[in-house]
Each structure stands twice: as C-alpha cells, then as structure tokens.
C-alpha cells in the first residue's frame, strides 16, 4: 500500500470527526437553551418562600373572633293585656382587639339581608347603636342600648363568655364535658349543637331567644 493510500483514511477520519463535533456542539447548544428556558419559566411560576422570621399567627388575645347565625326573639305577656311579640333575623357578632381590651360589634339584619341596626361596645363597656333610619342611641352597656332600641333586654354583653363555656352557674354537662344547661345574669340557658335557647322570666311573662350558629 502506498503512503498516499495510507494517509487517505486518516484525512477522511479527521473530516468526519470535525463534522460530528460541529453537529454535537449545535445539538448541545440547542438542548441547553431549551433547558434554560424551561428553568426560567418554572422559576417564574414558583411561589416565593415565606421570609424567615415572619409569623402570620396571632395569640388568642390579639386575634379577631366572629360568630354568625340566625336569631328569633319572642315575648309572651300574661294578664289582661296578654300579647305575643316576635322577631326573626340574622346576626353577625365580631370581637376585635383594641387599646384597653376588645370591642364587640353586633349587626342585626332582617331575614332578607336588610340591615336593621349596628351596635358597638367599647373596651370601657359603653355602647352605641345606629338604627336603619340613621338615629344613634348610647347607653352604659350593649344590653341597655339594645333594650332602648327594641324594647327587649338581649344578653349580648355576656354572650361571648357563654360561647367560651363561661357561666355563673353550670347545671349540666354532656359526656364530653361541654356545658348543656346553665344560668347566668337571670337567663336560663339550654345548649344544643349549634343551637342556644335562652329564656328569661319577666313579671308579666317570659322572654325567649333562640340562636342558631352558622359559624
């Protein structure tokens, strides 16, 4: 075999090697570009982690609290002027932290969602109430201002304590230890799952309140 014949395959091999190298380089470049694009798109979609040291939870004394549901109130009178009065609607009770304690807000609505009254008790116990017609009433307590507005003494001042299982006198508990019957501030309290029945004797009859908690 001549020297030129021996050099021929070597030159061809080098040319093929260069060609394959260029092709592989182009393929790798395209593949890296594609991977980089996917990585950038994925990074944009990822939610950033929460910054270290930030705690979004609040202690119970600082956390807002809220209860909502339906109510019915009935007043039965005895004697010569016996009559029965009743009212139904919805309520929203909100307790918020404030300087010196907590505020307590009460919104009363008709069954159709019309606002009947908005009341607020300040940390010092004083309360005000705004009626649907714009009139504002004030009193030394939330119960008192509600009685001015609707003529019935509703037990809103003590209601948050009852919802937390705090009563003046406990009469019965269920198997789980939850209070089912109690008395407090002249009210006889019967508690069922998500339902409260409050009764208060009056000289001329009885006042009865039923609360159904939705949340």
For residue 18, being part of any structural domain is answered with no
Question: How is the beta sheet containing 179-184 ordered, strand by strand?
Answer: 136-139, 127-131, 115-121, 101-109, 84-98, 65-77, 205-213, 195-202, 187-192, 179-184, 169-173
**Containing domain of residue 103, as a range?**
65-213
Tell me how many domains the chain contains: 1
Task: Determine the average pLDDT of the residues in 16-38.
Answer: 47
For residue 189, being part of any structural domain is answered with yes
Under DSSP, the state recorded for 140 is S
What is the per-residue pLDDT for 40? 30
Q: Categorize the per-residue pLDDT at 11 as very low, low, confident or very high, splitting at 50, 70 and 90.
A: low
For residue 78, being part of any structural domain is answered with yes
pLDDT tens digits, one per residue of 37-57: 333 333 333 333 333 443 346
Task: Determine the average pLDDT of the residues in 58-72.
Answer: 84
Instruction: Specify the CATH number for the domain of residue 123.
Output: 2.50.20.10
Point out the least confidently predicted range of 11-20, 143-152, 175-184: 11-20
205 against 143, higher pLDDT: 143
What is the per-residue pLDDT for 21? 55
Q: Are 92 and 115 in contact (CB under 8 A)?
A: no
- 145 by Cβ neighbours in 10 Å (0-12 / 13-18 / 19+) ranks as buried
For residue 56, being part of any structural domain is answered with no
- Tokens read off for 64: 């807002």
For residue 20, being part of any structural domain is answered with no
């Amino acid at each position: 075999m001549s020297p030129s014949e021996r050099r021929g395959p070597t030159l061809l091999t080098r040319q093929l090697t260069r060609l394959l190298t260029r092709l592989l380089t182009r393929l790798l470049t395209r593949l890296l570009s594609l991977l980089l694009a996917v990585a950038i798109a994925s990074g944009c979609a990822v939610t950033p982690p929460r910054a270290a040291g930030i705690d979004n939870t609040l202690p119970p004394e600082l956390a807002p609290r809220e209860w909502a549901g339906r109510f019915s109130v009935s007043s039965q009178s005895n004697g010569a002027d016996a009559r029965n009065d009743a009212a139904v609607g919805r309520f929203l009770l909100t307790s918020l932290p404030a300087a010196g304690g907590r505020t307590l807000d009460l919104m009363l609505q008709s069954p159709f969602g019309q606002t009947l009254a908005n009341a607020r008790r300040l940390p010092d116990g004083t309360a005000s109430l705004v009626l649907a017609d714009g009139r504002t009433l004030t009193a030394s307590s939330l119960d008192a201002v509600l009685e001015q507005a609707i003529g019935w003494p509703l037990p809103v001042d003590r209601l948050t304590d009852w919802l937390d299982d705090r009563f003046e006198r406990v009469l019965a508990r269920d198997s789980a230890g939850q209070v089912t019957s109690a008395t407090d501030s002249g009210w006889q309290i019967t508690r069922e799952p998500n339902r409260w029945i409050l009764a208060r004797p009056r000289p001329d009859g009885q006042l009865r309140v039923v609360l159904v908690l939705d949340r």
